[in-house]
Amino acid sequence: MPTRIVNRSLSFFGLAALAAALVLLAGGNGLSANQQKDAKKAAAEAKKEAEAQQKAAAEAQKKAAAEEKKREAAEKKRLEELQKKEAEHQKRIAALTAKELEAYRKKQAEIVKRAEEAMRLQALDHLKGGESEALKEAYILMAAANHDYNGHRAKAMGAVARATEVFDKDVLKGGTVADRIKTIQDNQVAAAARFLEKGDTTVHEPQFYSDLQLRQAGILVQEVKAYMVKNNQTKGMNHVDDALKELTIALQTR
């Protein structure tokens, strides 16, 4: 139950208790019959209002729980589909000849290089809005990745969030961040495919695209660090270093 609703309900119960106390003290304070009647009426209305608020809070909690359950089910289904695609991809890779495998790895390296170059250019635009904007984009890219990386992705996200708060404590709040994360997740393959030639379907591996997002996030964090060093800015640097450390470990995890 949200704290605001709870507090509101308690305030109504407090009013009801106060009105009831007035009724009990009515005789001793010499209240007239009409005043006693009004006090009883106020107590009844306050109690009724408090019960209505309590009911509304319970319904809101029930609705939130249902929505969370629905979200978790959708996320589970999405991850299961990605795992299935990845398993199918691994079967195709296993069937490649040595020469085909070499070409495949070369193609992956080319995609990574082009993606990193593009992200370095984008980092300059993000930094025009300040360190917090670049760190926010890095956070979104990590949040939209599909793999856990033995907890190192979450640790990197936490470090970036702490670094972001140094510059702007509210930048990660609001619906826009959540919407961006969902958009990237929904269009993960399509977004990454912009680094491929038209018609090239060789490298369609969920793990690869997830790694690519972490690499892009890492470049943004690296650019923020370079910007901070250039401007002799030490506040928040420990969080930035922690994020880079965790991202490095994450990308070594399989």
The answer to whether the pTM exceeds 0.75 is no
Q: Give the mean pLDDT of the chain.
A: 76
Question: Which residue, 38, 14, 13, 16, is CA-closest to 26?
Answer: 38
End-to-end CA distance of the chain: 39
Quick: pLDDT tens for 192-204: 444 444 444 444 4
Domain boundaries along the sequence of the chain: 1-95, 96-251
User: In one letter, which amino acid is 25?
Assistant: L
The tokens for 250 are 């994450």
Quick: pLDDT tens for 208-254: 778 888 988 999 999 999 989 988 989 899 999 999 999 999 998 86
